Amino acid sequence: MQVIARLALFVCLLAARCIAAAPTPAPLSPAEELQRVDGEVGRYGGHLVVGQRSEPKTLNPVTAADAVSREVIGRLMADLITINRGSQQIEPGLAKSWTTSADGRTFTLKLRKGIRFSDGHPFDADDVIFSFTVYLDEAVNSPQRDLLVIDGKPLTVTKLDQYTVRFALPRPYAAAERIFDGLAMLPKHILEKPYREGRFVQTWALNTSPAEFVGLGPFRVKEYLAGQRIVLERNPYYWRTDGDNHRLPYLDELVFLFVGSEDAQVMRFEAGETDVVNRLSAENFALLARERTRTGSQLVDLGPSLDYNFLVFNLNDLSAEKKKLDTISAKQAWFRDLKFRQAVSAAVDRDSIVRLVYGSRGTALWGNVGPGNKLWVNQAIPHPQRSLETSRQLLKSAGFSWNNAGQLLDSSGKAVEFSIVSSSSNTQRMKMATLVQDDLAHLGIQVHVVPLDFRAMLDRMFQSFDYEAAIMGLGGGDPDPNPEMNVWLSSGSTHLWHLGETQPASDWEQEIDRLMQQQMITLNYEKRKRLYDRVQQIVAENLPFIFLATANVLTGAKAQVGNFHPAVLDHYTLWNVDQLYLRTEARRVERAGVR
């Protein structure tokens, strides 16, 4: 009896779910200054299901720091000026146009008139002022705040009229428009009260009722089921239209399923339960490619990504912890020797890494900017072939020698051996470590590969400095050099090989500091490029990182997903989610019948 009652309830719920139709797009009004976008004209309807690694932690765009949360928030919110993921150039968002003063320090933005938040409330300059007040508030502690504070001084925002705002920077700042990307504009009418009451940080947690999440993005929250999924529905007031004056987005619903690891995402995609896989490893890509005919999917290899994997030696100053890390500081004599690092770099078989780790869907790297970053890569960086002979000569000239068993000995006769830590959950980097281990064995260097939990590894690299060498990856955000500042500035928080330098530890680090500071205030692209080229050259010559390889950006979607134009920038597949549409409903129904 109970079973029947439950079944009946289930059927009712199912029916209710089907009946509760998505809101239809609001009719266009001449008062709205909408943005027309190019691209194939699609059709309305359907829902797109995307697998996600885990649940978002929060939907508060100001405090969210993790990628998964930002993945969802990005679909709910909009920014003033945006980086088009396809062209990698900036384009207007909520600001329809802007002017820059001659000294590059003030920006005057004209906002779109007549557009509305997802609850129908109009958007104007007050919302912009409110948003920036929140982002700049130290009590809120937004991760984006750093971008808005230049030389310790925050940028200032003033309202000129209801649809015009002016931003003033403390000093000229290259590519300043790019900082607006990803800064979601907040609804003052909803969030001002909690902000005044000091509750802002707790607002928009996942337990908030869906109606309270209000944004300017293509979707709004419909339903959240803890541990299972979050369902977004069309924002009927969205401010972009297609070429035929249809208000976007096309999709009725966007569903994020919390499925777990990449492998789990691939399995769901294979089973037809999800429509898009965001980023695939080469092995999973090859697996899906073999089954392409059966699953009917479009798989896209976008070429080299912007992130870079590298081997880094611990060059931190260990004198403070001398006692505990004695053995490591003894080995630092080798690591500090440029010839030793050059020898290691020359011995690494990068082509094999590309072949074995990425199944040839990757690119070998000799510098921090890969060929995927067309605007900034320094083409003059040499790509020397792997040569054990060069390595041996370098080591010999640095005072190393070999014993009869072929072991490498340093000038004091000590055998050269060290360990490489890497994240145990990242199979690709673990594989790189095993290949490097074998490469260096040819030089008589004994390398131990130590898999560590990712958090434990970060702790060793950033806090205790209790490691000898590590294989890590960085980058991947924005192609512009500015986000890389914290890696290359000697005082930077991600200056991994030597953290917490009060002043540059070497001449070349000082030179990099100067060049990076200079490029940040240089407005002309050509001049900036020259400065950044020089940085890349210094890095490649001094090898604080021994660059290994980068994966290609590999993505996939069902064949019927239209306007699927993935990009090498994050978010790879859903950046144009407002334009995605389903070509036909037929397949979906058919599949549901089979199941």
Binding site for another protein (CB under 8 A): 263-264, 266-267, 281, 283-284, 286-287, 289-290, 349, 352, 355-356, 359, 419, 421, 424, 427, 431, 434-435, 437-438, 448-451, 456, 466-467
Identify which of residues 161 and 351 has a Cβ nearer to another protein in the complex. 351
CB of 594 to another protein, least distance (A): 21
536 exposed, middle or buried (CB, 10 Å; 0-12, 13-18, 19+)?
A: buried
Identify which of residues 106 and 407 has a Cβ nearer to another protein in the complex. 407
509 Rama class: left (phi>0) / alpha (psi -120 to 50) / beta:
alpha
Identify which of residues 267 and 559 has a Cβ nearer to another protein in the complex. 267
- For residues 447 and 440, is the Cβ–Cβ distance under 8 A? yes
Identify which of residues 286 and 458 has a Cβ nearer to another protein in the complex. 286
Identify which of residues 75 and 361 has a Cβ nearer to another protein in the complex. 361
CB of 280 to another protein, least distance (A): 9
E-assigned strand segments in 414-558: 417-423, 446-452, 469-475, 545-558
List of residues 6+ apart from 166 with CB closer than 8 A: 106, 107, 108, 109, 157, 158, 160
Task: Name the token pair of 320.
Answer: 């403070």
- For residues 447 and 420, is the Cβ–Cβ distance under 8 A? yes
CB of 448 to another protein, least distance (A): 4
DSSP annotation of 58: -
CB of 300 to another protein, least distance (A): 17
- Residue 2: what residue type? Q
CB of 574 to another protein, least distance (A): 23
Identify which of residues 29 and 327 has a Cβ nearer to another protein in the complex. 327
Identify which of residues 115 and 318 has a Cβ nearer to another protein in the complex. 318
CB of 377 to another protein, least distance (A): 27
CA distance linking residue 250 with residue 270, whole number of Å: 25
CB of 449 to another protein, least distance (A): 5
CB of 191 to another protein, least distance (A): 42
Cβ count near 219 (within 10 Å): 26
Identify which of residues 78 and 353 has a Cβ nearer to another protein in the complex. 353
Identify which of residues 324 and 527 has a Cβ nearer to another protein in the complex. 324
Identify which of residues 206 and 286 has a Cβ nearer to another protein in the complex. 286
CA distance linking residue 33 with residue 114, whole number of Å: 6
- For residues 571 and 47, is the Cβ–Cβ distance under 8 A? no
Task: Name the token pair of 73.
Answer: 């928030």
CB of 411 to another protein, least distance (A): 24
Cβ count near 138 (within 10 Å): 9
Q: Which of 204, 212, 62, 73 is nearest to 139 (CA)?
A: 62
Identify which of residues 129 and 449 has a Cβ nearer to another protein in the complex. 449
Task: Name the token pair of 210.
Answer: 């869906």
CA distance linking residue 566 with residue 399, whole number of Å: 51
Q: Which of 162, 143, 182 is nearest to 486 (CA)?
A: 143
CA distance linking residue 65 with residue 52, whole number of Å: 16
Residue 576 CA: distances (Å) to CA of 83, 331, 572: 12, 50, 9
CB of 315 to another protein, least distance (A): 18
CB of 453 to another protein, least distance (A): 8
Mind giving me the DSSP string for 85-144?
Answer: TTT-SEEESSEEEEEE-TTS-EEEEEEPSS-B-TTS-B--HHHHHHHHHHHH-TTT--TT
CB of 424 to another protein, least distance (A): 5
Identify which of residues 76 and 548 has a Cβ nearer to another protein in the complex. 548
